[in-house]
């Protein structure tokens, strides 16, 4: 069996999901998937002095839940990989001080979940390691104050904006056979359609999702029909409509497609504007809701295309448009 | 041959350095290694309207030099991997918009060179890809204004501080045999010795370098004597003294050891405080000066231990100490 990439994609043979831990915030708990998550926090401070420390505590909880399920300790893991939205990938790096094993930080904005899962899967598929843990998190209050304004300011939001999900997800990937496996992946290119409205990330990211989807289908000779469900990361309402239009214009038959940003909340009743975003968004939906459905064989195969707007506020102030990326992982129920 | 990691380390069999491109700033050009670099820029703006755009232009130059040497185009590369010091890894991500192939951003502060090289080497060693390009950069004025104060403020510096190197380095790794190869690597753990002086990163990082070095030696049953030269990333004067003391206390025989931060500048005449730092520091020294010596068989094998202080200014303001990391790659002249 060849290990060589086909275009931007690779079929994976020996990588399984062994365990996971999901922690969500208050709004995510009240949403339609609220009952799916292992734990929820009641307030954004979570007993800590700062939102940043609360985010880290959530991520530690997610990691501990993930490992305890399999009676594993921090030292039993070969490598930790993590990603979050903070400058310097602060949440995962400051948590990694507590981990006695090597750590790699990757950054892909909200695509961090798929990026860290894909990288971990590649290391296991190669045979380098047996157990790799991925960790991703986002927190509405930490992201808002870094990228826009502190939530406490009560700044008026544009209708096109998305709502950064609060949550943390840890996933243990392993070479040991389990009911669900990582079956294929596609690494994304950085795509910039000259969108420069930082209050409309969904539409900025749609072309990156389109590019990765088309490459995935072409590289592996597949279509939407090869999946029981295809979800994009967090294009949310406007963005996922744009993606659908782009696909239809290219004569792609779009079936059973949804967006994690639209699934995490009840958009008709919850005040999240166009829907959810943030590393935790696609991670919570995938590991909290979709992974159990694969385990229970309610679905056979899904494709998760996590999107990220790689914008730098510094570059936005220098009048630059927003680079975006999307990475895809295919998860499959093992026969 | 087993591809399994030994502890935190892996011996690599089929990864070669095919090409490189190095661009340095004015002070680096005036330093003792100035003649080693492919190109130098005369002023920190490099004809651009902002320092950030100048850094990106330098990195594009380094990439173009690297690829042109082998008559390759952007599209001929299987994957690009990059790292820099900017929030959101801005320099590489905004440059990646011009690249028609997949991109992965990794972040390890000043350890970015070794981290991106190690990750790229792993992907090639696995057989996933044939040609992977790594890109790293740092720029004194962009880093200073993000982490401390704009250079133009003329803020007084502490004597313990280091000077962020201005430069950009691109390296093409390939599975095709070449005169120099990546022979082994060790992934680092995140180490925090409760140092919280942001004006003394060298000393903060020394324990991380120590940890990675000791793991490297133990995993591969090696010592300093197995290398013609061991360089640390950018501990600079104070930090590399601390590392030496830690090693001696553990009865390690320290021979032919140096630090990239002390090699890039003439510390007796150039005003760089304790020496150089930044992603470009270890990258410029390694690819500009050491790699050619391996090519010319003046040295047989070297170990590059690139260190990174993963500090977040946000966490520093919340009274947290500085997490650090070091990743190591061993480069060898092929017989």
Positions of E strands within A4-52: 9-11, 16-24, 39-40
pLDDT score recorded for residue A2: 61
B185 CA: distance to closest CA in chain A (Å): 12
Looking at the structure, tell me whether residues B14 and B136 fall in a common domain. yes
> Do B145 and B213 belong to one domain?
no
Q: Is residue B3 part of a domain?
A: no
Tell me: pLDDT of A214 over 80.
yes
Determine the pLDDT at residue A196.
Answer: 85
B104–A106 CB contact, under 8 Å: yes
Cβ-nearest to A102 among B123, B189, B323: B189
Nearest CB to A128; choose among B10, B97, B315: B10
Position A144 in a domain: yes
What pTM did the predictor assign? Answer: 0.97
Interface contact flag, B99 A128, Cβ < 8 Å: no
Same domain, A165 and A209: no
Collapsing DSSP to helix, strand or coil, A182 comes out as: strand
Distance from CA of A34 to the nearest CA of B (A): 30
pLDDT for the residue numbered B2: 61
Average pLDDT, chain A: 96
**B49, part of any domain:** yes
Is residue A1 over pLDDT 60? no
The arithmetic mean of pLDDT across residues A299-308, rounded, is: 98
Does A4 reside within a domain? no
Asked whether residue B164 falls in the same domain as residue B184, the answer is no
Query: Is residue A2 one of the residues assigned to a domain?
Result: no
Structure tokens given for B209: 């370098």
CATH number of B133's domain: 3.40.47.40
CA–CA min distance B129, chain A (Å): 6
Output DSSP code: residue B254.
Answer: -
- What is the tally of structural domains in chain B? 2
Under a CB-based contact definition with an 8 Å cutoff, are residues B20 and B291 in contact? yes
Residues B169 and B20 sit within 8 Å (Cβ to Cβ):
yes
- State the average pLDDT over residues A146-166: 90
Specify the DSSP class assigned to residue B171.
Answer: E
Q: Does B185 lie in the same domain as B122?
A: no
Q: Which of residues 264-323 of B touch A (CB under 8 A)?
A: 310-315, 318, 320, 323
Same domain, A22 and A165: yes
Q: What is the pLDDT of residue A79?
A: 98
For residues B60 and B91, membership in a common domain is answered with: yes
List helix spans (H) across chain A: 26-30, 51-68, 90-96, 112-125, 140-147, 201-219, 236-249, 260-263, 279-284, 291-295, 313-317
What is the per-residue DSSP string for B7-69? TTEEE-SS-EEEEEEEEE-HHHHHSTTGGGSSEE-SSTTTTSSSHHHHHHHHHHHHHHHHHHT
Measured CA to CA, the distance from residue A49 to residue A34 in angstroms comes to 26
pLDDT at site A215: 98
Count of pairs with CB atoms under 8 A, one residue in A, one in B: 168
Instruction: Please enumerate in sequence order all residues whose Cβ is within 8 A of that of A154, keeping only pairs 6 or more positions apart, or say none.
Output: none
Same domain? A209 vs A278: yes
Min Cα–Cα distance to chain B from A5, Å: 5
Q: Is A103 on the interface with B (CB under 8 A)?
A: yes
pLDDT higher than 80, residue A218: yes
The pLDDT tens digits for B75-95 are: 999 999 999 999 999 999 999
Question: A260 and A111 in one domain?
Answer: no
Check whether residue B119 and residue B241 sit in a common domain. no
Are A156 and A200 within one domain?
Answer: no
Which of A174, A191, A214 is the endpoint of a domain? A174
Structure tokens given for B227: 């290398």
Enclosing domain of residue B281:
180-333
Share of chain B above pLDDT 70, in %: 99
**Which residues are CB-contacts of A172 (< 8 A; sequence separation ≥ 6)?**
A17, A18, A19, A20, A66, A67, A70, A72, A77, A131, A132, A133
pLDDT for residue A59 is more than 60: yes
Arithmetic mean of pLDDT, A270-287: 95
CA B156 to chain centre: 27
To which H or E segment does residue A104 belong? strand A103-107
Last residue of a domain, one of B159, B174, B189: B174
Q: Tokens 């943030």 label which residue?
A: A278
Residues of chain B with pLDDT under 70: 1-2
Can you give the pLDDT at residue A159? 85
Average pLDDT over residues A200-227: 96
Q: Which of A174, A208, A234 is the last residue of a domain?
A: A174
What local confidence, expressed as pLDDT, does residue A142 receive? 96
Instruction: Tell me which residue in B128, B146, B190 faces A3 most closely, judged by beta carbons.
Output: B128
- Helix (H) / strand (E) containing A106: strand A103-107
Q: Are residues B187 and B144 in the same domain?
A: no
Nearest CA in chain A to B80: A189
């Amino acid at each position: 069996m060849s290990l060589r990439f086909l275009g931007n994609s690779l079929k994976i043979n020996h990588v399984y999901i062994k365990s996971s831990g999901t922690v969500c915030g208050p709004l995510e708990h009240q949403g339609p998937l609220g009952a799916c998550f292992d734990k929820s926090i009641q307030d954004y401070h979570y007993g800590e002095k700062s939102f940043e420390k609360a985010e880290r505590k959530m991520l530690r909880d997610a990691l501990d839940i993930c490992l305890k399920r399999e009676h594993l300790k921090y030292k039993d893991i070969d490598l930790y990989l993590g990603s979050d939205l903070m400058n310097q990938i602060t949440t995962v790096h400051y948590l990694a001080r507590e981990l006695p094993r090597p750590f790699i930080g990757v950054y892909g904005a909200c695509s961090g979940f798929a990026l860290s899962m894909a990288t971990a899967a590649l290391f296991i598929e190669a045979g380098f390691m047996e157990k790799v843990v991925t960790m991703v998190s986002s927190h509405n209050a930490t992201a808002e104050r870094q990228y826009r304004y502190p939530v406490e300011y009560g700044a008026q939001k544009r209708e096109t904006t998305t709502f950064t999900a609060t949550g943390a997800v840890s996933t243990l990937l392993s070479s040991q056979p389990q009911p669900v496996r990582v079956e294929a992946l596609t690494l994304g290119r950085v795509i910039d359609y000259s969108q420069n409205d930082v209050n409309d990330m969904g539409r900025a990211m749609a072309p990156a999702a389109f590019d990765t989807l088309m490459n995935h289908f072409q590289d592996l000779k597949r279509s939407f029909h090869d999946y029981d469900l295809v979800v994009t990361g967090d294009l949310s309402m406007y963005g996922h409509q744009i993606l659908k239009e782009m696909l239809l214009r290219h004569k792609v038959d779009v079936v059973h497609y949804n967006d994690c940003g639209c699934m995490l909340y009840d958009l008709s009743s919850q005040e999240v504007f166009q829907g959810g975003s943030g590393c935790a968004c696609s991670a919570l939906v995938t590991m909290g809701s979709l992974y159990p459905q694969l385990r229970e064989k309610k679905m056979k195969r899904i494709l998760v295309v996590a999107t990220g707007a790689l914008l730098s506020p510094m570059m936005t102030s220098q009048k630059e448009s927003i680079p975006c990326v999307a990475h895809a992982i295919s998860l499959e129920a093992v026969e």
